[in-house]
Amino acid sequence: MKVDGIPYRSIWTEGDGRSVRIIDQTKLPHAFETLPLRTLEEAARAIETMQVRGAPCIGATAAYGVCLALAEDSSDEALEAALARLGRTRPTAVNLRWALEEMAAAVRNRPRAERVEAAYARAGAICEEDVEICRRIGAHGLTLIEAAAAKKGGGRVNVLTHCNAGWIACVDWGTALAPLYLAHDKGLDIHVWVDETRPRNQGAALTAWELGAHGVPHSIIVDNAGGHLMQHGEVDLCIVGTDRTTRTGDVANKIGTYLKALAAHDNGVPFYVALPHTTIDWTLRDGFAIPIEERAEAEVTALTGRDADGVVRTVTVSAPGSRARNFGFDVTPARLVTALVTERGIAPASEAGLLSLYPERADG
């Protein structure tokens, strides 16, 4: 997607094809800054501090983290240490594990002299595959928006989304936002309700920034407004991303997703989840077995924003001395999900539904 007319991806290589660069997502929307990743540790820290975030983007960054580690030391010990270090960065998004397994398979049985080249080749392919997957998710999801528009006789379609499942959460296009970009580009009249997504405000800061840059009409709402809007017929459908989906269709996504799904269910509003196959954890049947990340208290007790002078400041919003808990994700049971939108098509959120799209996973 474009930033100020220039095409960007969330992560890329430049020059010799070995230097890795990311968009520093912690600086958005106040500043657009790119950042080099020069070492394994820089890649791991970028994931931990959420300079890169979003399940597919985390996976892509981890893949390049393995490349950077091997470029310094291509021994078995260095490879295993890199896989372990990156694997500890964030617990919920299963794309991280998937990408590390892909990288291990690409280099483990090779002679040391071939490892760096093989690693960069696989990391680059992971990124290219993700772009194509997201484009396909967009094309399938577009049919849902078109159906909603037809139902309203061509009237405005109001879509609610939570967190950021856009192009910077992936490599390009996004998952939940890809259908919205395509719908807008096709001339459909859409408007997006953007949940602010406390505590880190991925909605207000990132989704709104992405949609605004692409010219998609949107309004930021507080996280608790969705139910009210649904009660008043102001939401035609919800579409969100996911960090890990079980083989039975339970969905872990940013904290607050479950409450939106409950409200959607109560109000008869379709609730869709968009995901690439890399976000499916075929080893799990029970969503409550998904590890839920708990992050620092300070993300809850403080807010960062730009003041009237344009200076970015962090201020405390909580009562002095109060403790906080910061659960990063929650689990929406499959029964509350209308359908899953994948690169292979749209299916019910169930094991049978997923296996109808991915029959090769029937045995595990």
- Is 307 a known active-site residue? no
Q: Taking CB under 6 A as the rule, does residue 207 contact ligand MRU?
A: no
Q: Taking CB under 6 A as the rule, does residue 170 contact ligand MRU?
A: yes
Q: Taking CB under 6 A as the rule, does residue 46 contact ligand MRU?
A: no
Nearer to ligand MRU, 245 or 350 (CB): 245
Minimum separation from the CB atom of position 294 to ligand MRU (A): 12
How many distinct helices (H) and strands (E) make up the chain? 11, 18
Q: Is 345 left (phi over 0), alpha (psi -120 to 50) or beta?
A: left
The residue at minimum Cβ distance from ligand MRU is 241
Q: Taking CB under 6 A as the rule, does residue 91 contact ligand MRU?
A: no
Q: Which tokens in the block code for residue 166?
A: 């856009």
| Sheet order of strands, 339-342 included | 218-221, 190-195, 157-161, 237-240, 271-274, 339-342, 345-347
Nearer to ligand MRU, 40 or 58 (CB): 58
Q: Taking CB under 6 A as the rule, does residue 332 contact ligand MRU?
A: no
Sign of CA dihedral 303, 11, 98, 287: positive
User: Token pair 């949609």 is at which residue?
Assistant: 211
**Alpha helices, DSSP H only, in the chain?**
40-48, 55-72, 76-87, 95-107, 112-151, 178-185, 208-214, 226-231, 257-267, 298-301, 351-357
Nearer to ligand MRU, 145 or 168 (CB): 168
With 0-12 CB in 10 A as exposed, 13-18 as middle and 19+ as buried, what is 232?
exposed
Minimum separation from the CB atom of position 200 to ligand MRU (A): 7
Minimum separation from the CB atom of position 212 to ligand MRU (A): 18
Query: 130, 195, 243, 250: which one is catalytic?
Result: 243
Q: Say which residues have a Cβ less than 8 Å from residue 182's Cβ, sequence separation at least 6.
A: 138, 139, 141, 142
Minimum separation from the CB atom of position 252 to ligand MRU (A): 8
How many Å apart are CA 303 and CA 63, to the nearest integer?
Answer: 31
Q: Taking CB under 6 A as the rule, does residue 199 contact ligand MRU?
A: no
Among 22, 54, 63, 198, binds ligand MRU (CB under 6 A): 54
Minimum separation from the CB atom of position 107 to ligand MRU (A): 26
Q: Taking CB under 6 A as the rule, does residue 165 contact ligand MRU?
A: yes
**CA distances (Å), 285 to each of 240, 336, 343, in order?**
21, 16, 21
With 0-12 CB in 10 A as exposed, 13-18 as middle and 19+ as buried, what is 236?
buried
Among 175, 207, 246, 350, binds ligand MRU (CB under 6 A): 175
From 79-87, 105-113, 118-126, 241-249, span contacting ligand MRU (CB under 6 A) = 241-249
Minimum separation from the CB atom of position 193 to ligand MRU (A): 15
Q: Taking CB under 6 A as the rule, does residue 223 contact ligand MRU?
A: no
Q: Which residues are catalytic?
A: 243
Contacts with ligand MRU by CB under 6 A lie at: 53-56, 93, 163, 165, 169-170, 175, 202, 241-243, 253-254, 328
